[in-house]
Amino acid sequence: MMSKKIEQLGISAETALLEYNLAPLCSRRDIAMLGLLHKVVLGQAAPQFSEYVFLEPLRNVPRGWRAASQRHNKQLHDPIDGTRSRASQRSLLGLIYSCNLLPQYVVNSRSVSAFQGKLQNGFKHLAKSEFPCWETFFRDGVRNSSSTFYQQIFK
């Protein structure tokens, strides 16, 4: 609905993000949920989340990663292995994959606000480069991109 109102004003989603720091609703939702995952990393999340979201023991190598140098040191356990429903992939749990692919310096953010600012800057980079479907990149696009490309959007 917000997108339609912005379009009625003659402002594109890219302009709203780049000039007014107003990301599309789907992007803001993903940034908010990634912020919750970062709270888990920081040890600030409510204890009820620990049943579903927790740090992966360092000895376990996340799927799809060949080089240890590409992984940050705060990997979350990813329960989405292709056997789960599409609904669970669209949930908070589906964003763990994106969180685990983030560069170390993004994950090292000492506050959720700083972390989310870096995520929004990633969206800005994608929007500037006219990347297709940039609004849903954390949810959908990251699975179809290389880890190198994903990590470079934050520089």
pLDDT in tens, 93-146: 989 999 999 999 999 999 999 999 999 999 999 999 999 999 999 988 888 888
- The per-residue DSSP string of the chain comes to -HHHHHHHTT--HHHHHHHH----HHHHHHHHHHHHHHHHHHT-S-GGGGGT--BPPTTSPPTT---GGGS-S-PBP---SSSS-HHHHTSGGGGHHHHHHS-HHHHT-SSHHHHHHHHHHHHHHHHHTT-TTGGGTTTTGGGGS-HHHHHHTT-
- Give the residue extent of every domain in the chain: 24-56+70-152
pLDDT in tens, 24-65: 999 999 999 999 999 999 999 999 988 889 999 866 555 555
The pLDDT assigned to 137 comes to 94
The pLDDT assigned to 59 comes to 60
The pLDDT assigned to 1 comes to 47
Residue 13 has pLDDT above 80, yes or no: yes
